[in-house]
A and B are shown apart, each in its own frame.
Chain A
Amino acid sequence: MKCNEVAEFISALYDGEKIPREAAEHLGACDDCSGRLAAYAAIGAELRRAASLGVPTDVKDRTWENRKTSWWQKSRESMRIPRLAFASMLVAIFLLSGGLVLVRARPNSAGSVLWLAVKLPPDGKVLHMALATDGEPDSDGFANFNTVPTGSIFSMSVRFLRREGDLVELGVKTRYENPKPDFTGSAGQRLEDIVQQSLWIEPGRNAEISVPGLGSIEFAGDFIDHKPPSFFSLEDTVDPKANEFRIVSPVLIRGKEVVFNLVGASSTGDTIRGTGVSIYWPGEGRFLISPAPFKDAVEGLVVGESQIKFSVEGQEYLLLTAVPVTRARHVWIKHEPEYKPSEHNAGERDDASSLGGGGRSDFPKE
């Protein structure tokens, strides 16, 4: 070996690392390389000596104040109405509102479901997830989120690991890309190679993790006694908002056959903007569903608030969902049986089902 080939090994040897036999033999016979090793040792010793003269031996006294209260907790604590009066008011509202039923999970420290609020920079958008902490399977949360600035994408998975009293340890994977790559894929696919981080959640305290490129995301959690029926917000009601179009845990039935069952998956569209939902199922192609008419789509009827009946290619379909879909009575559906994700986005898999918000180009006006 030559001196320049051995040089890096000399540095490693000085650090206590083993080096290849050839490098060790060269070093034993070469004055220049031995001199380099001696120089490293001398410089290292001088650095430590200088540090011994200059490094402080003490630090200023400090007190460590209690950690700040969670922003989520704060919003609950800011109530100025006496609790009894507030409870009476709630009862009055309930009685006066007749048939209006609010679907809301109550925070409960004895509950087994962790309700997570995740605050994203830069605009403070809050995402919600419900995770079972009693070992219930299929509780992991996975999602892709379009983020600010437009064209960027943030993916996150949250897995329950263990619970100790009010403390819950989660395994969190995150990924942020700006601009969004041509191949997006499901959150699960996007996060396959990401190292899982441990995150401890305690009600009343914020937890943060840093996402390269995006900044710090803040987690706040509380226990509730059951999984809320809607996956979008704890404040969601059974009654959809005026422009809301939502598909939660859809099951599609063709005749007497179940075509797909996407339990736990959810996505939303908007009746004003005319955006809808895209569902892909391997072997069945893609179903596009929109609250507004679009090219080549058939009209479907919303029945019983959470079912959609439609007919395409001479077959009758019934789409069942977990919550009322929209205030409108009609929606529009297009079936693309030959659709394959890989033909539209390089790298996408054809063997994985997906449910997501379709882009405007998927719902062209008639």
Chain B
Amino acid sequence: MAEERELWERIRRGEAQAFDAFYRGMGPHLLGFLRQIVSNRQAAEDVMQETFTRMWRSPNGFTPERGTLRAYLFGVARKCAAEWWRKHGSAVGNPVEGRAECKTEIASLVGDALQRLPEEQRSLLWLREVEGQSYAELAQILEIPVGTVRSRLFTAREELRMVWHATRSVKKEGE
């Protein structure tokens, strides 16, 4: 926590080297997340770049007392993604294009199942299961109370469980 605060103090003072380290460390994680919530890889890349640009230009938005830097980053990214959807939502194609990288059948199934969930549920599950974010961090990112995180995670898991089972059943019937 102290390290994070020190890093942020350096970034806030305009040390480009410190921010570049932060970008290189967190960029791949953020890109993986954004691929789940915007329609394609290029859009995810654009939104990620916009997120870091925004943080670099206006570093005062982060308050260490209110949460972690990582959660703040993902929260900003989610807002940037929402803006992207508002601008391009009607013009985009297949929202699961990004899943082409999941080459194995099972990975494809769980990826397809995930893509059938609403954005908030997708975000919650990805951030919890893949990024290992805590309930407090999820609350910070989604701007909801911690108690609500627990109930929404449950709802999201149930949705994914049902969609996944249904997808697998259809797959087996087709074989």
Contact = CB atoms under 8 A, between A and B. Distances in A.
Interface of A: 7-8, 11-12, 14-15, 17, 36, 39-40, 43-44, 46-51, 53-60, 62-64, 66-68, 167, 195, 197-200, 206-210, 216, 219
22 contacts: A8-B154, A12-B150, A15-B150, A40-B161, A43-B157, A46-B106, A47-B114, A47-B125, A50-B102, A50-B106, A50-B110, A53-B103, A55-B130, A56-B31, A59-B27, A59-B48, A62-B49, A64-B23, A66-B14, A67-B56, A167-B13, A200-B12
B90 interface: no
Contacts of B106: 46, 49-50
B116 interface: no
B102 A54 contact: yes
B4 to A, nearest CB: 15
Tell me whether chain B's interface is mostly helix, strand or loop, or mixed: helix
Interface of B: 12-14, 16, 19-20, 23-24, 27-29, 31-32, 35, 45, 48-49, 52, 56-61, 63-66, 98-99, 101-104, 106-111, 114, 125-126, 128-130, 135, 150-151, 153-154, 157-158, 160-161, 164
A209 B64 CA distance: 15
Given A43-B164, A197-B63, A64 B19 contact: yes
B23 A62 contact: yes
Contacts of A167: 13
Nearest to A197: B63
A50 B130 CA distance: 9
A64 B56 contact: yes
A207 B60 contact: yes
Contact of A67 (B14, B61, B108): B14
B129 A57 contact: no
The 6 tightest CB contacts between A and B, nearest first, are: A59-B27, A55-B32, A50-B107, A11-B154, A54-B101, A64-B16
A15 B135 contact: yes
B16 A12 contact: no
Contact of B153 (A11, A54, A195): A11
Nearest to B17: A64
B74 to A, nearest CB: 14
Nearest to B18: A64
A47 B129 CA distance: 7
Contacts of A53: 101-104, 107
